[in-house]
Structures are given as C-alpha cells and as structure tokens.
Structure 1
C-alpha cells in the first residue's frame, strides 16, 4: 500500500511539472525575398591560365575562391592564387612569380524569384596582398662601345591593394554555378628596387600602374550544409 501511494505521488508530480513547461516554438521561416544559400561555395577562376591572350608577356596562373551567405545578402569572400609572368626578348629574359590573397565581401542586389533561387548580382570590396619574387636571367644593352650583358639575382617584394568588384553568379545546374566579374584595383603600397624596378604584382597586374582593371570568369560548386542549425 505504501509503495502504491509513493508511486502515485511521483506520477502526480511528473504530470504537474510537464504541465508547467513552456511550449517549444519552432524558428519561424524567412518571409523575405532575399537569396538564401546554405553551405560553402568553392570556385575556380577559368580565365587565369589564359591571361597571355590579352596581357603583355606570358602571364598565367590559378585562383580559388570561397564564399558563403553569412547573413541575408552578405557573402564574406576569400580568394587566393598564384601567378607568373615571363618576358623573353632578344635583350631581356625576365620572370616574376608569387602568391596572393584577397579578403572581402560581396553584397547581393538581386531579389529572389522563388525559395530555391540562388542567382546573385553583386557588388563587392576586397583587400589584397601578394608575396612575390622577380629575376632577370639575362639582359643585353647595345651601345657605341659594344654590347653589355649581365644578369640579376632573385629579389623578393610585397604589394597591397584594394579592389572594387561587380559580378554575377548564376546557378546552371543544382549547386553548380558560373559567373564573371569586373574589377578595379587601386594600389596601396609597393616595395620596389632601383634596378630593376618591379614590373609585375601577382593578383594585381602591372606594378607601375596605380590603378588596374581586370576581369574573371569562374565556375563554382556549392557544398550544401545548414550551418544555421
């Protein structure tokens, strides 16, 4: 009888405590029309290996990018790559190579047409820096007294710049995107030498210019995962 009374009291207390618990409410769904992308988007710039087609010298490289929607319409971005420039003439054999990284964000201007729409038109800002080296393997100077030849060893240098970006990323298949961007690059700082002057900055372009234009064409894949849970 005592055991039955004790069990009855425990059950009564449990029912009372459950009745006092607040109701669990689900997180409401987004009701806006902003693009909503889960996961990490990884990209490769397809134009970097073919820069020799529209730039001076034999210029080529590779670049990867990573972006994700942190808050509605705002996408933090990291872009990192490597570039090389080689100029080989009768009077000069010059090469420059190095790595670069850019940090920044993109802001989407496009309104979603439906819940799964992830196409974006964006404007963005970047801070970029590079670590590179240059070398003159051979040079030739012709004058009245005869030809002068020589070479210069490797020189290490750095550069920093800011970028303004306008671009598009469109989903062509599920989680597969393609897009292009145009960029204006403003040089902030540059290490230089008296002989020879730095001619090329990886990720930036011609070092003697204070402002450069560039464009890119890339392919992306979104690695879907819901990090907001």
Structure 2
C-alpha cells in the first residue's frame, strides 16, 4: 500500500510539473508571434469540442485493487470566456474497515458551465477556470459483512455477519464547484488538473445502512453533506470554427 501511495504521489508530481512547464514554454514561445500579429485585424480564436478522459481514475484502477473506474469528459466553447462542460463515468469502490465490508458500483453524469479567467496571448488556448456542475448518480451497494456493535462487550461481544446483502436502485444528486487548469502542450492536445467541492442535495439510502461511497461523488464522510474530489485530464480539441478576438 505504501508503494502504491508513493507511486501515485510521484505520478501526481510529474503531471503537475508538466503542466507548469508547458505554461512557461507556451508563453515564451508565443512572444515573438504576438509582437508580429499585435496589430493584425485578422486574429481569430478557435471554437470547438474538446473531448478527453480522467487519467487519475485509470491510474488509481491500476494501483488500487479495491477500485475500478473511468471517466470521459468534454467542453464546448460557446462564448469567449464560457464553456458548456460535462463528465460521464463508471466507478466501483470496495470499502473495508474493522466493522464493515461493502462495495458501491454505478454510473454518474455531471453537466454545467466553466468560466475561463485566463487571458491568452494570440495563438494560445490555455484555461485557468472555475465552474459549476449539477450531478447525479445511479448505483448499488453490496454489503459483504458488517459488525453489530454491543455496548457491553463482556456479556454480549460484537457480532459480525457475513451474509451478503445487495441494495439496488439507489441514487444521489449533488452540486459541485470546480476549479482547474488546462494547458495546450501540443497543437489541440491538453493536459489538465482540477479540484472539486461537492454538496449533497438528495440521496436514496438502503434501509438500516448508509451510503459510504457514491460513484462520482466519492466518500460521504460519515453522513456529512460535503465532499471533495480531484482529476488529472488528457483531452483533445476538435476545432469547428473560428471567431475574431
């Protein structure tokens, strides 16, 4: 487990380092072009559909035996600073503690808008953005074993049941604030990183059992309404048309 965490931290450091190096390189490389094109009336910016996936979920699936998942994501630029954005994913997560062994599996979808706060030089398409999502998940919970707590451990020690129970038809709806960075490292190819702050609006729970993990939302933190997440994205922009700056 320690080796997995070390490798994950190493990959995360490499990924973030590549992003910032790419930003510096892109800015330095664009300076001469900007000087030449500064007064040009023909400057245009790309508008199109950007599609990609969350590399962190693929890496986690490889490193963590208790997790499987993938996510596809995309955005469409419809105004100079605004992008329609969304994500769709599938996750399966096993949670094991001294008192419970349960597995959550299901799908999720997120839809919303991103605002790009970064002022690009001509020829650049980087994003430093904040956004909002409304998200929903449909999932099931499989309970493989659980402990029944007893206040008197001497006369009635804790009882552990190994009877498998499955609860299907569960769902959750939440709102999400996202902040992130997307950097064009090659023509139309982007690397990105983001952080997500989540708030549960509603959820359907199984009887006598709480949702420990919700696909797309992550850990529920002991019935709390708040959650957190992150992602490392690789995406490709399909240019559809151009507009004047």
TM-score in terms of structure 2 length = 0.70
Q: Hey, what does 1:151 align to over in structure 2? A: 164
Q: Greater RCO between the two (CA within 8 Å, min separation 6)?
A: 2
Matched with 1:25 is none
Residues 1:36 and 1:165: Cα distance change in structure 2 (over 3 Å) = farther
How far did 1:92 drift? Answer: 3.7
The answer (yes or no) to whether the contact 1:139–1:151 under 8 Å persists in 2 is no
Distance 1:70 1:201, change over 3 A: same
Do residues 96 (structure 1) and 111 (structure 2) align?
no
| Residues 1:49 and 2:58 are matched in the alignment | yes
Match of 1:215 in 2: 230
| Aligned match of 1:166 | 179
Q: Matched residue of 1:226: which SS?
A: strand
Counterpart CA distance in 2 for 1:50 and 1:174 is 25
Alignment match, 1:62: 70
1:84 equivalent in alignment to 2:92: yes
- Give the structure 2 partner of residue 182 of structure 1: 195
Alpha-carbon distance between aligned partners in 2 of 1:95 and 1:223, rounded to the nearest angstrom? 38
Write out per-residue CA displacement over residues 114-172 of structure 1, whole angstroms, 9 at most, x where no aligned residue. Answer: 1x210111110000000000011334558656755223233321101111111111100
For the Cα contact (< 8 Å) 1:132–1:202, is it kept in 2? yes
Rate the CA distance shift 1:62–1:95 in 2: closer, same or farther, 3 A. same
Change (3 A) 1:194 1:154: closer
Match status 1:203 vs 2:216: yes
Preserved contact between residue 140 and residue 166 of structure 2 (Cα < 8 Å): no
**Compared CA separation, residues 145 and 221, structure 1 to 2 (3 A):** same
Unaligned runs of 5+ in 1: 1-29
The alignment status of 1:108 with 2:116, answered yes or no, reads yes
Closer, same or farther in 2 for the Cα pair 1:178/1:82, shift >3 Å?
Answer: same
Q: Which one has the bigger helix percentage?
A: 2
Higher-Rg structure is 1
SS in 1 for 2:58: helix
Instruction: Pick the aligned partner of 1:36 from 35, 45, 56.
Output: 45
What is the TM-score normalised by the length of structure 1? 0.75
CA distance in 1, matches of 2:77, 2:102: 42
Conservation of the 8 A alpha-carbon contact between 2:117 and 2:129:
yes
- The 1:89/1:163 distance shift into structure 2, 3 A limit, reads closer
Structure 1 residues 74 and 141, CA, compared in 2 at 3 Å: closer, same or farther?
same
